[in-house]
Amino acid sequence: MPGGKSKGTSQRNAWVLHIALVALSFLFLFPLLWMISTALKVEAETMRQPPTWIPTDFQWVNFAKAFTYGRAELGYIPFLIYGRNTLILCALTVAGAVLSNAIVAYAFARMRWPGRDLFFAITLATMMVPFPVTMVPVYGLFRSLGWIGTFRPLWVPAWFGSAFSIFLLRQFFRTLPFELSEAARIDGCSEWQIFRQIILPLSKPALAVVALFTFMGTWNDFLQPLIYLQYQHTFTLSVGLQAFQTQHGGTQWSMLMAAATMVVAPVIAIFFFAQKQFIQGIAVTGLKG
Amino acid sequence: MKARKTEAWTAVLFASPWIIGFSVFLLYPLLASIYYSFCDYSVLRSPVWIGLANYRDLIKDEVFWKTLWNTGLYAMMALPLGVLVAFALALMLNAKIRGLTIYRTIFFLPSLVPQVALSVLWLWIFNGEYGILNNALGFLHFGGIPIMGHHFLAFQFHGPNWLGDPSWSKPALVLLSAWGVGNAMVIYLAGLQDVPQSLYEAADLDGAGWWAKTRNITIPMLSPVILFNLIMGIIGTLQVFAVPYVMSPSGSPARSIYFYTMYIFDNAFMYQKMGYACAMGWIMFVIILLLTLGAIKLSDRHVHYENS
């Protein structure tokens, strides 16, 4: 606590602050804890009054049940298939986003061409365009290509760049010393060699942020898979979970929470591995915007 | 001169994925969407020009006004609360306390939860019968003061049937949105840590208190960040879709959580009224543009930019 007060007061303030933060921490954590607690109960226990926080009999089998597909216990989420679909899409969008956005951002950040700055300003402005405005013509486009019901509408666009990632990488590329490029040019390097051999290796932190945000975007996306996917065996986790909820919502809460836990867990695991990239990525895009 | 020209061509080649992506996935759909908004169009038939008919129908469409009202009301509750909660958390975490990273992680975690999982989880928490939220609220009770057989001031707090009650469903969604302010909090916290320490030291010499420093240094220094977040918040909040759709695709009860994008989605893909959906899309775009311009205009007086 900044301030010219006595040591006693500031120590007391620190205690008050900690107590408030611990209370708030509980408020922020309790929904997640409740999700896990419900996921581990037998169905009957989820409706017990008063509710129990620690399940009387841990039902780890709930997670396994969500993996089974086409079994007699109809309606359980074919989580394995949905998870595989989601991972395929994530891999394709991350690969495309890292590659194409890096090349495009390089052109915006470190090359001279007429109309560059105007086009960049327009690119930034497109971040304001809400998806519902372009949704119908884009759907029509994919329909005329015969792509409805396939994965293609969900990953092909990622290979053509996105304004947000271009912006993020351009900001980073511009912080690298331009003398590096000049020296390489004098040595006879082509623009592609400079990009590939000098700039890219130095940009791993920024590329990691783009990969991370693209992965999160694909993993979380709901509206687009809902529009384009038609068959249950092509569903992503988001669409699959929603389909399960409409069929069995209000009855099988422990199964639903087991499935939700498995959708949340990988994201949280990735966060703990890449905490620095997350925090820095968010801070940079929020502050330099 | 020739080298310049070669460089320009190479650069265009480098930028070509985005030139294509921008034209195909943004420019063309934007223009096509305006055109379709003046057409009777379903994917099965080619568009037929009908002039302003879609827009005229919209003005008379009660559901359109309902969804616009719902979305506006939701935004007016969720946006200020979001800024307030995120900013308050960031201020608390900026007080140089021990365990900062642990608290920051805890407050940030909920914003990582994917939207569909989030909706399913809160459906369960808000459940009127077995929901943990109402169970927790039920602990708020007071037996009263017994005087001559009466229990004065007795009360038992009964939580509402959140998502089953049209007057509580929107507040429920607002509450849920406040749970996911981690992103904004991280941005504010980074902004707070950028404020030059010398400003606070100067204020200390003048004997300024905590509130005076927050009001006169912290908030002005962070105003550009707050403005940027507010604009992104407006754009995002007006497009709210996944959470209410998962909770109730028809926006029940009494269409109280039937939002604008849900109605666009239904028009486009349920009723096959794609021209109508495009008209709604464009109205939304214009509203977002006007609100953003308004926010920037208003901020001219209140936002402090360091280098200008």
Give the chain B residue nearest A166 (alpha carbons). Answer: B18
DSSP 8-state symbol, B278? H
| Alpha carbon A159 to its chain's center | 17
Q: Residue A75: is its pLDDT beyond 60?
A: no
**Nearest residue, CB atoms, B130 vs list A29, A47, A192:** A47
Q: Which of A19, A113, A190, A251 to mutate to test the interface with B (most CBs of B within 10 A)?
A: A113
Q: Whose CA is closest to B91, among B228, B231, B211, B234?
A: B211
Structure-model confidence comparison of residues A76 and A102, the more confident one: A102
Q: Whose CA is closest to A214, among A264, A281, A272?
A: A281
* Interchain contact, A107 vs B95, CB within 8 Å: no
Task: Please give the Cα distance from B227 to A224 (Å, whole number).
Answer: 29
Go through B211-235 and write b for each residue having 16 or more CB atoms within 10 A of its CB, e for each that does not: eebeeebbeebbbbbbbbbbbbbbb
DSSP letter string, B141-170: EE--EEETTEEET-EE-----GGGSHHHHH
Instruction: Specify the pLDDT at position A77.
Output: 63
One pLDDT digit (tens) per residue for chain B, 308 residues: 567 788 889 999 999 999 999 999 999 999 999 999 999 998 778 899 999 999 999 999 999 999 999 999 999 999 999 999 999 999 999 887 888 889 999 999 999 999 999 999 999 999 877 788 888 887 766 666 777 777 666 666 677 888 888 989 999 999 999 999 999 999 999 899 888 888 888 888 888 888 888 888 998 888 888 898 889 899 999 999 999 999 999 998 889 999 999 999 999 999 999 999 999 999 999 999 999 999 888 887 777 776 54
Q: Residue A48: is its pLDDT beyond 70?
A: yes
Instruction: Specify the pLDDT at position B128.
Output: 77
> Which chain B residues are closer than 8 Å to A196 by Cβ?
none
pLDDT, average across residues A266-277: 90
> Which chain A residues are closer than 8 Å to B261 by Cβ?
132, 223
Query: What SS3 state is found at B45?
Result: strand
Instruction: Specify the pLDDT at position A25.
Output: 95
DSSP 8-state symbol, A26? H
Beta strands in chain B (DSSP E): 39-42, 45-49, 141-142, 145-147, 150-152, 155-156
pLDDT, average across residues A29-55: 87
**Nearest residue, CB atoms, A286 vs list B21, B225, B288:** B225
**Nearest residue, CB atoms, A38 vs list B124, B187, B228:** B124
CA distance B152 to chain A (A): 27
Task: Please give the Cα distance from B236 to A132 (Å, whole number).
Answer: 12
Task: Please give the Cα distance from A196 to A190 (Å, whole number).
Answer: 10
Structure-model confidence comparison of residues B201 and A96, the more confident one: A96
Structure-model confidence comparison of residues A53 and A35, the more confident one: A35
Task: Please give the Cα distance from A265 to A53 (Å, whole number).
Answer: 20
For chain A, percent of residues with pLDDT exceeding 70: 92
Instruction: Specify the pLDDT at position B67.
Output: 97
Confidence of residue A2 (pLDDT cuts 50, 70, 90): very low
A249 and chain B: CB distance < 8 Å anywhere?
Answer: yes
pLDDT, average across residues A218-235: 94
Confidence of residue A228 (pLDDT cuts 50, 70, 90): very high
| Alpha carbon B214 to its chain's center | 25
Query: What SS3 state is found at B46?
Result: strand
Mean pLDDT of chain A: 88
Could you give the ipTM of this predicted complex? 0.90
Structure-model confidence comparison of residues A174 and A71, the more confident one: A174
* Interchain contact, A28 vs B110, CB within 8 Å: yes
A153 cis-preceded (ω within 30 degrees of 0): no
Task: Please give the Cα distance from A60 to A44 (Å, whole number).
Answer: 15
Query: Mutual orientation of helices A163-175 and A79-110 as an angle, nearest 10°?
Result: 50
* Interchain contact, B213 vs A2, CB within 8 Å: yes
pTM of the model: 0.90
Where is average pLDDT lowest: A13-17, A72-76, A162-166? A72-76
Q: Which of A38, A89, A136 to mutate to test the interface with B (most CBs of B within 10 A)?
A: A136
Where is average pLDDT lowest: A43-47, A284-288, B97-101, B197-201? A284-288
Confidence of residue A3 (pLDDT cuts 50, 70, 90): very low
Q: Tell me the per-residue pLDDT of A104-162, one tens digit each, with 9 for 90 and over.
A: 999 999 999 999 999 999 999 999 899 999 999 999 999 999 999 999 999 999 999 99
- How many residues in total does chain A contain? 289
